[in-house]
Structure 1
Amino acid sequence: MSTTLQPALTTLNIATRQSPLALWQAEHIRDRLLALYPELTINLLKIVTKGDKILDTPLAKIGGKGLFVKELEQAIYDKQADIAVHSLKDVPMQLPKGLMLGVYCKRASPTDAFVSNTYNSIDELPRGAIVGTSSLRRQCQIKAHRPDLQIKTLRGNVGTRLGKLDAGEYDAIILATSGLQRIELDARIRGELDIDICLPAVGQGALAIECREDDTEILALLAPLNNDQARIRLIAERALNRHLEGGCQVPIAAYAVLHAADAIDYENDDSGTTLWLRGRVGQTDGSELLKAEKRMALTGTQAEQEAQANQLGIEVATLLLADGAGAILAAIYHPE
């Protein structure tokens, strides 16, 4: 059954990057909206971002993953686009004035995928094996688990990264499980890293839709795509990162789940009313990995629970700061 649109809204423009994964994400949201509003015309505005152009330098040295969203945000400001679809883990913790995340979609797998043509798991890798990743978060946790491994920077879209693995430049590479699944490359996944070894990135596996704060018509249009449980979890994770003054390309991990108070079955469990948030901050060489966690029983309305989730993120971040996270992050932001 279609939803009745306001007469003034007949066309929607979606800003997107041009990588296969970004296009899948934009097309996925387009198709979901068309199922709700078949009379709507939806156009994709395909943009090449600075992050897509600079492929020979680690992201942490050129501004982080925010480089993948700035041009999309400018298109929204200029009203060339109404919305932008993002992988949430790429979205900076502080949004530009006047923009907001209008939708948090239901989360897909948050894990990291182990991809190799020779080995079945990270523990099977021989000493000194070369592992490719562009993420300082993955690097610090993998080095903490296997300090003997070599970590080598890996940039480019998914196809480019897999091509470098196939060319023998790496013994294994680590990619987001959800990204491979979305573009039907599940067969390349040898296994998913246990979250006890590699806690996910803030927002990993979730799509978010950015729009103008004052565009009430667009916000009403997007409302059916919101997932209340995912929104609560993701608000907690982003609050932790924000309180640590972390960006998208720092050795910070955070993962929140909802579970019943008497049954902690945390994998993909959105059925409970207790929010459990875990966070980590580590040295990039794996020599130190700080861990903190806390649970909070949620009460009240959706808005009240979102406020509680935000507070939980701040509290777990405060625990990490008390253990020395600030010094670790300061050394990364301001190396001598």
Structure 2
Amino acid sequence: MPTQPPAPHVQVRIGARGSKLSLAQAGHMQRRIAAALGADPADLAQVEAVAPLIVITTTGDRVQDRRLLEIGGKGMFTKEIEEALLGGRIDCAVHSLKDIPALLPDGLCIAAIPEREDPRDAFLSLKAERLEDLPRNAVLGTASLRRQAQALHRRPDLDVQMLRGNVDTRLAKLEAGVADAILLAFAGLKRLGLDHLPQSLIDPVECPPAPGQGALAIETRLADCEAAWVRAIRHGPSVVAVAAERGALAALEGSCKTAIGAYARFEGAHLKLIVEALSTDGQKRFRHAGEADMTELADPEASARALGLSLGLAVKAEAGDAIDV
């Protein structure tokens, strides 16, 4: 006889996009949240009782034939979900952190970041092992201005074509020869069990990923930011690292209209950060690096964000309008 779920003292309704990757990520966090609420994460009935998953289709999911900057930026993956949060139809949202704009709507917060997955970009191709090995004038498919600019900085001969869609769609287009290579977040491939597919991984210091790439974000209303279940799923080092990267994002007023990369990592107690911005054609690149000792700081998250802000402002001052679309 199946176990009957306990009557929950708290129910947390989870909102997420309906893509395969989003559902895989949300399902993982659904079990984590259910466990934090006292349910058995292996018992599906208990999990569904205390942490039901609600699928919400976003504008970014519906419009697949244009770059995000043409339809309103990366917020198009979060707008409808955040409206459901503010309207009380869900209690939290599971996002890929890199999809969240630097500024959140009033009344909402990024309440928790669990342990971050590998933040690197993955190179996939049927013709080459690395970007450098592609034949001249090869077609690279990507919808990311950052990936476009970084690739053109290394290989200005490449023909970069806009390629949107979910992971399966992009892989199918690669297989069909629409592009000679594509770039995807390695974290997403790992969460889908496809981490065997990349030919190689991109060095995150040489080509910093999107700020927050590889991290999931649990977004809630402000009143729930310090709920016990929220605190139970936070991962301190990941919170600090992405705070630095998003500090740089905020300083650069980053969106899908700017090619921005940021990568923070711990070496012992030292947090090291590299920030870069590029012109969309890749010809101009502006980079600044710095570090901070996180030992015994009262608020390491705030210190990390300050580091990101300072480096982001330094990049912005040097670049001027060279990085504007």
Instruction: Decide: shared fold, TM above 0.5.
Output: yes
Q: Residue 321 of structure 2 corresponds to which residue in structure 1?
A: 327
Question: Hey, what does 1:275 align to over in structure 2?
Answer: 271
- Residues matched between the structures, number: 310
**Aligned: 1:298 with 2:294:** yes
For residues 224 and 55 of structure 1, the distance between their equivalents in structure 2, rounded to whole angstroms, comes to 36
Q: State the match for 1:230 in structure 2.
A: 238
Greater mean alpha carbon deviation, residues 124-133 or residues 54-63: 54-63
1:129 Cα deviation (Å)?
Answer: 0.3
Is 1:129 matched up with 2:123? no
Asked if 2 retains the 8 angstrom alpha-carbon contact of 1:142 and 1:197, the reply is: no
Residue-by-residue CA offset, 1:231-273 (whole Å, 9 max, x unaligned)? 11111110111011112552000011111xxxxxxxxxxxx21
Cα distance in 2 between the residues matched to 1:249 and 1:130: 22
- Partner secondary structure for residue 314 of structure 1: helix
The whole-number CA distance in structure 2 between the counterparts of 1:253 and 1:238 is 10
Distance, in Å, in 2 between the alignment partners of 1:256 and 1:86 is 20
Q: How far apart, in 2, do the equivalents of 1:48 and 1:322 lie?
A: 38
Match of 2:250 among 242, 257, 263: 242
Q: Match for 1:221: what amino acid?
A: W
TM-fit CA distance, 1:65: 1.4
Shift of 1:189: 1.0
Partners of 1:84 and 1:60 in 2: CA distance: 23
Question: Does the Cα contact within 8 Å between 2:205 and 2:263 map onto a contact in 1?
Answer: no
2:163 to 150, 154, 177: 154
Q: Which amino acid aligns with 1:123?
A: E
Instruction: Please state whether the residue corresponding to 1:199 is helix, strand or coil.
Output: coil
* RMSD after superposition: 1.6
In 1, Cα distance between the equivalents of 2:206 and 2:309?
23
Contiguous gaps of at least 5 residues in structure 2: 1-6, 40-45
Alignment-mate amino acid for residue 44 of structure 1: L
Letter in 1 for 2:293: A
SS of equivalent to 1:95: coil
Shift in Å, 1:289: 0.7
1:99 aligns to 2:108 (yes or no): yes
Aligned to 1:280, the other structure's residue is in SS state: strand
Corresponding letter in the other structure for 1:280? E
Q: TM-score by structure 2 length?
A: 0.91
Q: Compared with structure 1, are the counterparts of its residues 233 and 224 closer, same or farther at alpha carbon in structure 2 (3 Å cutoff)?
A: same
Report the TM-score when normalising by structure 1: 0.89
Q: Any stretches of 5+ residues in structure 1 without a counterpart?
A: 1-6, 260-271
Contact kept? 1:90, 1:248, Cα under 8 Å: no
How far the C-alpha of 1:118 sits from its partner, in A, is 2.3
Check if 1:113 corresponds to 2:108. Answer: no
